[in-house]
């Protein structure tokens, strides 16, 4: 099985480049960087990694449709492809609903802002620019007149689309090279439900696409330490309190009643209490946590659910996690 690594842009550039070099030596398929409005720039990460490596794939996981115009994204990733020798992957998504409104872009209500329409226009403009044709496009969200990119990519640039929406996942499978099923947290059961939407698009297309999925990963020789790292991780507690749907946890024995006290503690700003109330079964269901051997079993569950490119997002004991997950092991 191919295996990628994914990171939030909280690590320094130099440390991230060292990780990319090590990941390449260990045989990982690709390395992916989240984009964040309030952290380091993902394109800078990818540029630095491209200059330091020679084989590993380098993906944005993901840029969004609000902060980069599609022409800018097309030229940027064509340049990155040239720099990396064709190893760059454009991962694209609508945008992060907690942060995009902070810069004046409303995502909700969906009926008004039409996210699928925005994404369709974005992909169309990017493709037109990459093909080297003159772009004349009048859309609801994007307008481009009489523009031709001054150079044409020498290699095809893979495009991945990320979404949690059933309609968007089906659409992505008809136009993209891959789909991204999860920003970090989902159960194998929930992932399988998303794969069913991708399959609808694949059937319409007549061929399959890569199905990538981030998986929050905490590995340690001591499983208790690994679980505690997840319990202390702000992102995990936030997702469990506000984002993760109860139905994806039901098959794993986590009930709405168990989550209610955690969510109440979260709402009143009592983060230590919210962390304390995280059910152990929720950590097991939503993440790849424990020893290396257990991680292999968990990855197999996601593969069975339909994931073809798992992207481990390691926190905690990073050297142990990379060593235990290494495809060359």
- Please tell me whether residue 101 adopts helix, strand or coil conformation: helix
- Region 2-27 average pLDDT: 95
Among candidates 67, 135, 127, which has minimal Cα distance to 102?
Answer: 67
Contacts of 58 (CB under 8 A, 6+ apart): 20, 30, 31, 46, 49, 50, 80, 84, 87, 88, 89
Confidence label for 133 from pLDDT (cuts 50, 70 and 90): confident
Angle of helix 292-305 relative to helix 188-205, nearest 10 degrees, comes to 40
Would you say residue 155 has pLDDT above 80? yes
Peptide bond into 75 cis (omega under 30): no
Would you say residue 318 has pLDDT above 80? yes
d(CA 84, CA 212): 21
Confidence label for 98 from pLDDT (cuts 50, 70 and 90): confident
Q: Which two tokens stand for residue 138?
A: 């009048």
Q: What is the pLDDT, as a whole number, of residue 253?
A: 95
The domains found in the chain, sorted by start residue, are 4-217+290-325 (3.20.20.30)
% of residues, the chain, pLDDT over 70: 100
Residues found in the chain? 329
pTM of the model: 0.95
Q: Which two tokens stand for residue 158?
A: 């893979």
Would you say residue 177 has pLDDT above 80? yes
- Please tell me whether residue 219 adopts helix, strand or coil conformation: strand
Would you say residue 110 has pLDDT above 80? no
d(CA 46, CA 60): 8
Task: Decide if 200 contacts 314 (C-beta within 8 A).
Answer: no
d(CA 315, CA 229): 7
- Region 273-296 average pLDDT: 97
Confidence label for 17 from pLDDT (cuts 50, 70 and 90): very high
Q: What is the pLDDT, as a whole number, of residue 264?
A: 97
Task: Decide if 116 contacts 165 (C-beta within 8 A).
Answer: yes
d(CA 216, CA 274): 19
d(CA 101, CA 114): 15
d(CA 22, CA 5): 11
Q: Which two tokens stand for residue 110?
A: 């969906």
Per DSSP, 3 falls in state -
Q: What is the pLDDT, as a whole number, of residue 225?
A: 98
> Token match 């030229």: residue?
75
Instruction: Express each pLDDT in 33-50 by its tens digit.
Output: 998 888 899 999 999 999
Q: What is the pLDDT, as a whole number, of residue 128?
A: 96
Q: What are the distances in angstroms from CA 188 to CA 65, 185, 218, 243, 281? A: 28, 10, 17, 17, 14
Q: Which two tokens stand for residue 126?
A: 């990017």
Would you say residue 323 has pLDDT above 80? yes
% of residues, the chain, pLDDT over 90: 85
The β-bridge partners of 9 are none
pLDDT averaged over every residue in the chain? 94
Would you say residue 111 has pLDDT above 80? no
- Which range has the worst mean pLDDT, 78-92, 241-255, 282-296? 241-255
Give the number of other CB atoms < 10 A from CB of residue 131. 12
d(CA 118, CA 46): 25
Angle of helix 13-25 relative to helix 42-52, nearest 10 degrees, comes to 50
> Token match 């980069």: residue?
68
Q: Which two tokens stand for residue 301?
A: 């569950």
Q: What is the pLDDT, as a whole number, of residue 112?
A: 74
Task: Find the helix or strand (DSSP H, E) in which 137 lies.
Answer: strand 135-138
Instruction: Express each pLDDT in 245-270 by its tens digit.
Output: 889 999 999 999 999 999 999 999 99
């Amino acid at each position: 099985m191919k295996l990628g690594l994914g990171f939030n842009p909280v690590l320094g550039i130099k440390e991230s480049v060292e990780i990319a070099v090590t990941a390449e030596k260990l045989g990982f398929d690709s390395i992916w960087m989240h984009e964040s409005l309030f952290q380091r720039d993902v394109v800078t990460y990818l540029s630095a990694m491209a200059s330091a490596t020679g084989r590993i794939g380098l993906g944005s996981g993901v840029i969004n449709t609000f902060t980069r115009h599609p022409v800018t994204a097309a030229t940027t990733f064509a340049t990155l492809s040239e720099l990396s020798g064709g190893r760059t992957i454009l991962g694209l998504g609508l945008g992060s609903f907690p942060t995009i409104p902070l810069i004046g872009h409303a995502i909700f209500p969906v009926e008004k802002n039409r996210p699928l329409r925005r994404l369709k226009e974005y992909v169309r403009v990017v493709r037109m620019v990459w093909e080297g044709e003159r772009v004349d496009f009048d859309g609801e969200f994007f307008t481009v007149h009489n523009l031709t990119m001054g150079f044409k990519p020498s290699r095809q640039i893979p495009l991945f689309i990320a979404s949690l929406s059933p309609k968007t996942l089906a659409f992505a499978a008809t136009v993209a090279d891959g789909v991204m099923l999860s920003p970090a947290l989902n159960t194998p059961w929930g992932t399988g439900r998303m794969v069913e939407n991708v399959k609808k698009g694949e059937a319409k297309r007549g061929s399959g696409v890569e199905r990538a999925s981030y998986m929050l990963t905490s590995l340690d020789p001591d499983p208790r330490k690994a679980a505690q790292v997840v319990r202390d991780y702000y992102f995990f507690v936030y997702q469990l309190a506000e984002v993760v749907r109860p139905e994806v946890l039901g098959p794993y024995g986590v009930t709405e009643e168990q989550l209610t006290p955690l969510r109440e503690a979260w709402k009143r700003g009592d983060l230590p209490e919210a962390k304390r109330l995280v059910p152990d079964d929720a950590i097991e269901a939503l993440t790849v946590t424990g020893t290396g051997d257990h991680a292999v079993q968990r990855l197999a569950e996601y593969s069975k659910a339909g994931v073809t490119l798992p992207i481990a997002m390691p926190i905690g004991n990073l050297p142990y996690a990379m060593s235990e997950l290494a495809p060359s092991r």
